[in-house]
Amino acid sequence: MIVIMEKRATPEQVQHVVARVEELGFRAHLSRGEERTIIGVIGDERPLSTEVLEVLEGVERVVPVLQPFKLASRDFKPENSVIRIGDVKVGGDEIVVMAGPCAVESREQIFETAWAVKEAGAKVLRGGAYKPRTSPYTFQGLGIAGLELLGEVRETVGIPVVSEVMSVTEIDVMSRYVDVFQTGARNMQNYSLLQEVGKASLPVLLKRGMMCTIHEWLMSAEYILSNRNYNVILCERGIRTFETATRNTLDINAVPVAKQLTHLPVIVDPSHATGKANLVAAAAKAAVAAGADGLIIEVHPNPDRALSDGAQSIKPEALQKLMVELRQIAQAIGRRIA
């Protein structure tokens, strides 16, 4: 449930309500809006009567949250959350583009790509150091060496980095080199990992599982949020259906549906959704038109020689062209791309 404080509630009254919530065995989460303060009651509040909190001074009303994902729900926080990645804001008026190779392959490759995507207008560099591959015989990433290259690129090029974390044991070392943890589709329901990145200080980009519902996706976000990491970005990357013409099926409906249900920013991965470089632009433009807060796009200077996902990677010059088209669509819907 959520406790909605009166407009004129004093800080002392707010703290008294927080203390009472915690005294009852629950955890309190404060959300301070422009006009009101909302206190989320975290835990299984079913035995708790609303009257216990409604009688406290400064309380306007107590509202049960019906959705199972409490902290992610718009009932809990009506306004959009804006997640900061350094100076970059995801979830505001500006649509943020993240771009880069599927995997870090070499110093030359990652530096060339980083400079190119930044010049095109991308605000965040993506690059995998650890790669979850279907086959154990394919390229698994450079590991620590890849992270060190990402750290070097971040400092030299001046661009924040998002990279996939696959194991709890990788969290500490990755936090030294990246700015955002990506939890991939295969790990969307790896609850141990979700809880640990929830305890970390970095934002988390949570990809939707390939066979998971939107509600399951939001429940996974709840694992992160419930561990006090409120900086979660949702990523729709296509789901598995009977269709074989594309790698996955981009669930474009998921963008407006998720944005109705949650205050968290929603971005789209058109690369994994389509699996084909010649379809990435169309899917990206559709995502922006549907209301996505950002895109994460695979870009490689030589896709034919890429060690992973070359077929869905576009070249830097294609990203340049796409950014021009995306700015036009963003302007048409009252948003912008830098």
* pLDDT score of 106: 96
Same domain, 102 and 203: yes
Residues 25 and 93 occupy one common structural domain: no
CB 126 within 8 A of CB 179: no
pLDDT tens by residue, 282-322:
999 999 999 999 999 999 999 999 999 999 999 999 999 99
Looking at the structure, tell me whether residues 34 and 89 fall in a common domain: no
State which residues form the domain around 25: 2-63
Same domain? 142 vs 226? yes
pLDDT of residue 65: 82
- Alpha helices (runs of H) in the chain, residue ranges in sequence order: 11-23, 51-54, 107-120, 144-153, 171-174, 191-199, 214-225, 254-261, 270-274, 277-290, 316-332
Over residues 29-44, the pLDDT tens digits come to 888 877 788 898 888 7
Q: Is there a single domain that holds both residue 57 and residue 197?
A: no
Residue with tokens 């530096």: 111
The closest of 317, 321, 307 to 102, measured between CA atoms, is 307
- Is there a single domain that holds both residue 8 and residue 144? no
The answer on 154 and 14 residing in a single domain is: no
Does one domain contain both 229 and 310? yes
Q: In what order do the strands lie in the sheet with 27-32?
A: 27-32, 37-42, 2-5, 59-63
- Residues 296, 234 contacting (CB under 8 angstroms): no
* Domain contains 263: yes
Give the per-residue pLDDT at 68: 86
Kindly report the CATH number assigned to the domain that includes residue 14: 3.30.70.1140
Quote the distance between the C-alpha of residue 88 and its chain's center: 13
In a shared domain, residues 146 and 280:
yes
Helix (H) or strand (E) holding 100: strand 96-100
Low-confidence stretches of the chain (pLDDT < 70) are none
State whether 26 and 172 are in the same domain.
Answer: no
Residue holding tokens 């912008």? 336
Both tokens of 62, joined, read 């107590």
- Classified as helix, coil or strand, 269 is coil
Interatomic CA distance for residues 31 and 49, integer angstroms: 22
Q: What is the pLDDT of residue 47?
A: 77
Indicate the pTM of the whole model: 0.91
pLDDT of res. 210 = 95
Q: Are strands 124-126 and 96-100 parallel, antiparallel or unpaired?
A: parallel
Max distance between CA atoms of the chain, in angstroms, equals: 67
Task: Please answer whether residues 171 and 197 qualify as being in contact, where contact means their C-beta atoms are separated by less than 8 angstroms.
Answer: yes
Q: Tell me, what CATH number does 305's domain have?
A: 3.20.20.70
CA–CA gap between residue 316 and residue 115 (Å, rounded): 10
Distance CA 238, CA 247 (A): 8
Residue 248 falls inside a structural domain: yes
Same domain, residue pair 167 and 314: yes
Q: Within this chain, do residues 107 and 218 fall inside the same structural domain, yes or no?
A: yes
